[in-house]
A and B are shown apart, each in its own frame.
Chain A
Amino acid sequence: MKKVMDTALLLLLLFFTVHANRTHYRPPGKPTRARCRSPEKETFTCWWEPGSDGGLPTTYALYYRKENSDTVYECPDYHTAGENSCFFNKNDTSIWINYNITVVATNALGSTFSDPVDIDVVYIVKPNPPEKVTVTVMEDKGWPFLRVSWEPPHKADTRSGWITLIYELRVTLEGEDDWEMHLAGQQKLFNIFSLRSGGTYLVQVRCRPDHGFWSEWSSTSYIKVPDYFHREKSVWILITVFSAFIFLILTWLLHMNSHSLKHCILPPVPGPKIKGFDNQLLKNGKSEEVFHAMVVSDFPPVTTSNYEDLLVEYLEVYVPEEQKLILEESKYLHKLEGSTSDNDSGQGSLESHTLLMDKREETKEEERLTGQEGSQTGMGPQRHQKDWDEEKPYAHEDIVSPAMSSGRVKTWPSVFSPLPQYSSGPKSQLSSLKIAKQHCLSDSLFSSYNAEPGHNTKKAIGPSWEFCFSNKQPQLQAHSDVNISSIGRNQAPVFRQSPAHQSTEYVEVLRVNEEDMVLLQPVVLGSSHGKGWPPTHQVEVYSKVKEVDSDNTVLLQKEVMDEEVDRCPCEDQEVNGATESCYTSSDITTTQKPAGCSHAAMPAQDEMVLAASGYVDTATMFTLPTY
C-alpha cells in the first residue's frame, strides 16, 4: 500500500516536473552525504547534505527501514539534532539490526531520493569527548610530573560495560606544534614525566569505543610547571665543586712557582753595583753618608803612573772666624784619641766637631800637650800604629810626596778652631799640624781610592773636609828651618769645607819641632811671617801629598805654578800617627833630610816644586832637625 502511494506520488511529481519545464524551477537535488552517528550505542543521529532546491521550497524527509521488516518509517525527530538531521532516540534505536535509510528532498516539482545507507548502530559509535579533564603537577622524589585525569562522557555507560572506552591524550609545550601522544587504554589517569622546568603545557584527551570512532579532542587544559632546580642544582653543585677543586690546584701551583713567576712578571731591579755602596744607607735616606761610604780606598784603581790624575789638585782649608786654629798640636792629638775615627783605614779622618768640642774644653791646655804626648797616647797610638802598619803598603803606593809648594797648606778650620794659644812652638806646631792635615787629606784622598776591604770610612772627601788626625799625636816631622809662629787667634786660618770661593786663610807650616809636631802658622796674605817665609802672592799653590816612601815619609808635591819656584825635591816627611789616614811609621823618626829637596826620597818627582813666594814649602819646611 505504501508502495502504491509512493509510486503515485512519484508519478505526480514527474508530471509536475514535465509541466514545469518552461519555468526555471526544478526538482530538488539529491541529498547527499547521509551519515549517521551514535554517541553511546543507545541513540543515533543522521545528517545529510541537501542538494539544490531547484528554486522552490524543498522539504526533506528521511525514511528508514529495518532489516527484518519492510516497514518504512520516517524520521521521528528532525529537530533535536539540528538542521538536516534526524534523531533516533532510545526507543527507536535497535542494535544489531541493519537500518536502511533514505533521504528524500521534495519540492513542488518533485522529490529526489538520496542513496540508501545501511547502517548498524553498533558500528557507528563515536562518543563525545572525555569530560572533566584535570591536570595537576605532582612531585616524585623531587622531580615533578603531570597527572592528567578525566572522566568518560556522561552519556556513555561504561559502568555497566555496555560501552568500553579507550582513551588517548596528547601533550605539548606552549608555543610548539608537535604533540606528544599517549595511549592511556581504559584508565582514566595518566602521568607525564620529563617536564621542562617552568614551561606551560597543553593537554587534551579523547576517547574511542573498542570498535568505534575516535571522539573529538577535549578542550585544552593549561598547566604551568613551576621552576624547579633539582636537576640544575645538582649540576651546579657539581660545577661548583669541580671549579673549586681546579682553583685550589691552580693556587697551589702558583704558590709553588711564585718565585719564578715573580721573576718573570716583575724582574728584580738590579741594584747598584758600586763597590762600597751601602743600600741600607740609601734607604735610610742619608745621601751624604752614602756617598761617603762610596769612598773606597782603592778606587779608582790607581797606578803609580796615573796618580796625578786622581789627585785633587788642591787642598783648601777654610777656617771660620770663630774657629781658630789650635796650634797646640799635642792637645789636639790628645783629644783625638777619643775622637771617633775609622780605625779600619789609614784615613784616620777626624770628626771635626768632636775635635771642636775637645778643643773648646782644652783651650787652656794648649801649652801642655807637647809634653804629654808620649804619656797620653797610651792605647791609642799603639792601636793606630797598628793601623798605620797595616796601611803601609797602601801608603807607599798612593801617597804622593808632598809637593814642595810654596803655597799654603790649607787646613781645615774645624780642626783648628778654637784655636788656642799655640804657645809651644806654634810655628812648628802649625806646620806640623798643617802637614799632618795635608798629609792626612791626601791620605784620605788616596785611601779612599784604595779598595780596601772593609774600609768604610764615613768621612768623604767631599763636603766635609775633615782633618785627619789620629788619636795619636800628630807627629809630623817637618824639615823646616823656619819657625812657624802662631799668628794669633784672629789670624787663625779659616777653614772651610768646600775648597772654593770663600776667603781663605792659610796656615803655614812653620816647622816640625823636635817632638814631631808640625807647627803651623796662620798665614795672612800679604804679611810675611818669619824669616825665610816666601812672600805671599796671589797665586795659590797647593801642595799635595805625592807619596809615602819606604821610609814612611810623606812626600808632598807641589803643583807647578806660573811663578817660578824652586824645584826641590821635597823633604821627607814623617808623619807619625798624625791621623788615621796619615801614614805613620812605626817609630817616630824625626830624622829627615834637612833641606833634602833633592833627596832621594822622591823618586819620580817630576813636579816637585818648591815655592818660593810666601807659601809653605812643605819640602823646605819639613826639614827636620836631626835628632
Chain B
Amino acid sequence: MAHRRTSGSKLFMTVLCMVAACNAVPITELLDRASQRSDKLHSLSTTLTQELDSHFPPIGWMIMPRPSMCHTSSLQTPNDKEQALQVSESDLLSLARSLLKSWVDPLLVLSTSVNTLPHPAQSSISNKIQELQENSKSLGDGLDILSGKMGPAAQTVSLLPYSGGNDIGQDRISKLTNFHFLLSCFRRDSHKIDSFLKVLRCRAAKLQPEMC
C-alpha cells in the first residue's frame, strides 16, 4: 500500500514537473502563493477566536458543543504526520479545496450574525469576518486553478454542507457560544488547509529546498 502510494506520488511529481514546465506560472509559484493565502487565513481566524475569548462568558464553555460537532468532521483527514505525508498531492489538494468550499456558507452566516453579536469587540470581529471571506474566496479561486493544473484527481471535491442554518442563536450566550464554536471549527479547518498546501509546496519544490 505504501509502496504503491510512493510510486504514485513519484508519478504525480513527474506529471507535475511536466505540467509545470509548460505553464507560464509554475506550480511551485502557485502553491507558494496559495500557501501564503492559507497562512493568512488561518492567522486571521486565530486572532478572531482569541478576540472572542476575551469576553466570553465562562458558562459558554459549558454548553459549548464539542469539536466533533463541526460540519466538516465527516471529512477524513490525516491525523498525524505519517498519515499526512502519505496522502497524495491530488488528495491533499482535493481535501483543501473541499474544506474551503464547505466554509463559504458558514462564513456568510457569520458575517450576517456578527452584526448583532453582543460583544464589545463586535466591529473588529466584523471586519475580520469580512477579511476572512475575501481571503477564503481568493484562495478558493487559486486552488481551482491549481487543481486544473494538477490533473483530474485534484478536481474532486467533497461536499460538506452546512446544516446550521442562518440562525446562530437567540440569546446572548447562545449567540456567543455558537459564534465561538463556528469560529473554532473554521480555525481548525483553515489550519488543515494551510498544512496541506504547505506540504504540497514542499513536495513540488524539490529543486528549491529553500522553500521548505
Q: Give the B-binding residues of A (Cβ under 8 A).
A: 41-42, 67-68, 90, 93-98, 120, 122, 157-162, 164, 186-188, 210-211
Contact = CB atoms under 8 A, between A and B. Distances in A.
A67 B203 contact: no
B66 interface: yes
A68 B39 CA distance: 27
B118 interface: no
A96 B79 contact: yes
Contacts of A188: 210
Contacts of B81: 41-42, 90, 95, 157, 160, 162
B80 A42 contact: yes
A586 to B, nearest CB: 130
Given A68-B68, A95-B79, A97-B79, A162 B84 contact: yes
Interface string B192-211: 10110011111100000111
A496 B203 CA distance: 136
Contacts of B192: 96
A235 B86 CA distance: 63
B119 interface: no
A211 B210 contact: no
Contacts of A93: 80
Nearest to A157: B81
B80 A161 contact: no
Given A161-B199, A161-B202, A164-B198, A95 B39 contact: no
A164 B38 CA distance: 13
A194 to B, nearest CB: 25
A95 B68 contact: no
A95 B80 contact: yes
B201 A211 contact: no
Interface residues of chain A: helix, strand, loop or mixed (majority): loop
Given A159-B212, A186-B210, A186-B211, A96 B191 contact: yes
B211 to A, nearest CB: 7
A122 B195 CA distance: 10
Contacts of A187: 210
A41 B195 CA distance: 11
Contacts of A97: 79
A162 B194 contact: no
B46 interface: yes
Contact of B203 (A98, A161, A210): A161
A39 to B, nearest CB: 13
A159 B202 contact: yes
Interface of B: 39, 42-43, 46, 66-68, 77, 79-81, 84-85, 188, 191-192, 194-195, 198-203, 209-212
Contacts of A67: 66-68
B67 to A, nearest CB: 5
Contacts of A164: 198, 212
A2 B211 CA distance: 49
17 contacts: A67-B67, A68-B68, A90-B81, A95-B79, A96-B79, A96-B188, A98-B67, A157-B81, A159-B202, A159-B209, A160-B81, A160-B85, A160-B212, A161-B202, A162-B81, A162-B199, A211-B191
Contacts of B188: 96, 120
B79 A162 contact: no
B85 A162 contact: yes
A93 B81 CA distance: 10
A210 B39 CA distance: 8
B209 to A, nearest CB: 8
Given A186-B210, A211-B42, A161 B79 contact: no
B194 A211 contact: yes
A166 to B, nearest CB: 10
B79 A210 contact: no
Contact of A161 (B66, B67, B77, B212): B212
Given A96-B79, A161-B201, 6 more contacts: A93-B80, A159-B209, A161-B199, A161-B200, A210-B39, A211-B46
Contacts of B212: 158-161, 164, 186
The 5 closest A-B pairs by CB, nearest first: A161-B202, A161-B199, A94-B79, A161-B198, A161-B212
Contacts of B199: 160-162
A146 B191 CA distance: 37
Nearest to B66: A67
Contacts of B211: 186
A68 B77 CA distance: 14
Nearest to A90: B80
Contacts of B68: 67-68
Nearest to A158: B212
A211 B80 contact: no
Contacts of A210: 39, 194, 198
Nearest to A164: B198
Nearest to A210: B39
Nearest to B203: A161
Nearest to B84: A162
Nearest to A94: B79
Contacts of B209: 159
A102 B105 CA distance: 36
Nearest to A185: B210
A96 B201 CA distance: 20
Among B42, B192, B201, B202, the one with the most A-chain Cβ atoms within 10 Å of its Cβ is B202
